[in-house]
Amino acid sequence: MIFNSAFFMFVFLPLCLAGYFLINNKFHNIFLMLVSLFFYSWGEPINIVFLLLSISANYALAKAIGRLNRKFKRIVFLFTILANISLLFAFKYFSFVVSNTPFSIGPKHIILPLGISFYSFKCLSYVIDVYENRIEAEKNILKFGLYVSFFPQLIAGPITRYGDIEPQISDRRVSFEGIYNGAIRFMKGFSKKVLISDQLINIVSIIFDSNGYSAPIAWLGAIAYTIEIYFDFSGYSDMAIGLGMMFGFETKENFNLPYIATSIQDFWRRWHISLSTWFRDYVYYPLGGSYCSKLRTYFNVLVVFGLTGLWHGANWNFVVWGLFYALFLIAERAGLKNILVKLPRLIQHIYALSVIIIGWVFFRANNINAALRYIKNMFSINSRWYADLLSIVDKQLVFCIILGIVFSFGFSVWLEKRLVDNRWICDLMIVMIFLIAIGYMWGGGFSPFLYSQF
């Protein structure tokens, strides 16, 4: 089940909200746990087995870590980490490893359970925090189970920490204001997904699946995908945060206008914040972070972004995508940042956006060779570029790209600040745009979120 489907919005969500407010407060967590499991089992019921296995195993092992002495605590901790990584490896990376060896030792295509990367990272952060005594092991399995399986965050994050969410699981207050604000946030995210991201899917596929287009078309495809993936994932995050607000949960922001970044360091402080901070806190800092020699710091950056790329998918182009960013981050640490800050802000912005757009080519392409061919096309000279452009560009495409650029650069944030004393105007506009998006959904169907495949 996905948020932008008619069944979710007009059947599941209304029934879920009605049931939540009709039952006694002491049953709220049980109710949310049950509907979350139903949500997850929709379409692929077998997936719930692995989710429940992950919940029960991490709950029991974390309790053991909290009780044991230092020696056995470390053994159980390492076993728990290995168990979580093994589950993720079996479903997500085993086929990749097998396909890169000359041996046939098992199935080469395994169906990936939805959201396994997200809930596995939730469990890992919980276990590590218990081991490091940042939090106490949860005694109530229902509370821990709800943390892992809470349906707004289950499929594609954000990756919340148990220490942040536990107080809200234990005691939260549902108010009309929270429901109202959550509904507005949900509508905003839905509109992003349907009216911008979904409208660019076809043209992006056409351009990326062809190797013969000239430079302007190649740049058009890369820019279109840059907009598509941002409004797809930030739209999902808005919907997830909004849904949480309806049930009394506050979730940290996952995006902060990443395309206004003036450096790659700045970009990664703004893009998929819950994932980048996860790798910072649980990989980069334990490796020594930047509190070591320059060479060791550069090595740490390579490791973190190699793993960040691999987290997104079992494919070499994702690894190259991560390492591509690592090289620019290292260059900025080595002195490029000192040069950039002396340049006009517009030049800094053009630099960052150019790297980001080219990076998305590695992310979107089917393999490394396809990515390299595509980037070559971006910088090739072709006399027939004008004819190519006319054959593929229409008014809807131009409108969507302009809309995507305007809103990804913070127009909505600026408008909300200008109308802070007349918020109802913004909210009315969001409702009207949402109704238009509903019409588009009914007319053209719906597409899954890009990050749900990771």
User: Residue 288: which region, alpha, beta or left (left: phi > 0; alpha: psi -120 to 50)?
Assistant: left
Distance CA 289, CA 268 (A): 15
> C-alpha dihedral over 261, 159, 290, 329, to 10 degrees?
-30
CA separation (Å) from 314 to 70, 232, 308, 366? 36, 21, 11, 12
CA separation (Å) from 58 to 81, 82, 84, 125, 156? 9, 11, 8, 11, 20
Q: Which pair of tokens denotes residue 214?
A: 């000239």
Distance CA 341, CA 439 (A): 46
Spatial neighbors of 228 by CB under 8 A, at least 6 apart, are 196, 197, 200, 201, 204, 404, 450
Residue 171, classified by CB atoms within 10 Å of its CB into exposed (0-12), middle (13-18) or buried (19+), is: exposed
DSSP state of 159: -
Task: Give the 3-state secondary structure of residue 198.
Answer: helix
Give the residue numbers marked as catalytic. 312
